[in-house]
Structure 1
Amino acid sequence: MDQTQKLLNLIGLAFRAGALTTGEPQVLKALAAHQLKLVIIASDAGTATQKKLTDKTTYYHVPIHDDLSTEQLTQALGRPRKIIGVNDAGFAKGMVKLM
């Protein structure tokens, strides 16, 4: 199993464990509340969305990852999403290792 598939499996597991925040408004709110350890944005998300999230994550010192497509994120979560925030430090650490 390759690293990307392991990462997608871990994202799915974190989602089922309730350790993720999904959707742009929710992720932005959680960022402002210092609840996120990692942000994952789809590589094919809009330019304005990518810039907004990159600016916010830089401001709040949260790592951001953008190597996965919307299709891959949707497959991992079972629902269409372009933006995911990871609330749990353990899951975030595991995901960063796989990136």
Structure 2
Amino acid sequence: MKQEQWVSLLGLANRARKLISGEELVIKEIRNGKAKLVLLALDASSNTEKKIFDKCAYYKVPIKRVENRSILGQAIGKEERVAVAVLDNGFAQKLQTLLD
């Protein structure tokens, strides 16, 4: 049940154009200070994982892990996505609560 909640909230954030997906774009938004929360798939490559964790740590962006890239992609109606950045405080806070 919990999974459905965050998945539908992520879909909502996507329709509201409050998130960005794809590794490079996510890193760019972290750098710009626009990312409020980063969701990273557990099946991300170790290279991608390190890059995103390091960026998030440096820019103090919270990061949450989600089961896999398929779920992440499905949630936003796209093909598989390894990383998604939430650009809105409200959505970010609610997602963090659901993913805790």
Partner of 1:18: 17
Q: TM-score, normalised by structure 1?
A: 0.95
- Tell me how many residue pairs correspond in the alignment: 98
Greater mean deviation of Cα atoms: 72-81 or 36-45: 72-81
Determine what percentage of the aligned residue pairs are the same residue. 39
**Is 1:72 equivalent to 2:86 in the alignment?**
no
C-alpha separation in 2, matches of 1:68 and 1:90:
23
CA RMSD of aligned residues (A): 0.8
Partner of 2:26: 27
C-alpha separation in 1, matches of 2:7 and 2:88:
16
List gaps (5 residues or longer) in structure 2.
none
Q: Would you identify which runs of 4 or more consecutive aligned residues in structure 1 move more than 6 Å?
A: none
Partner of 1:87: 87
Matches within 5 A, 1:39-78: 39-78=38-77
List gaps (5 residues or longer) in structure 1.
none
Q: TM-score, normalised by structure 2?
A: 0.94
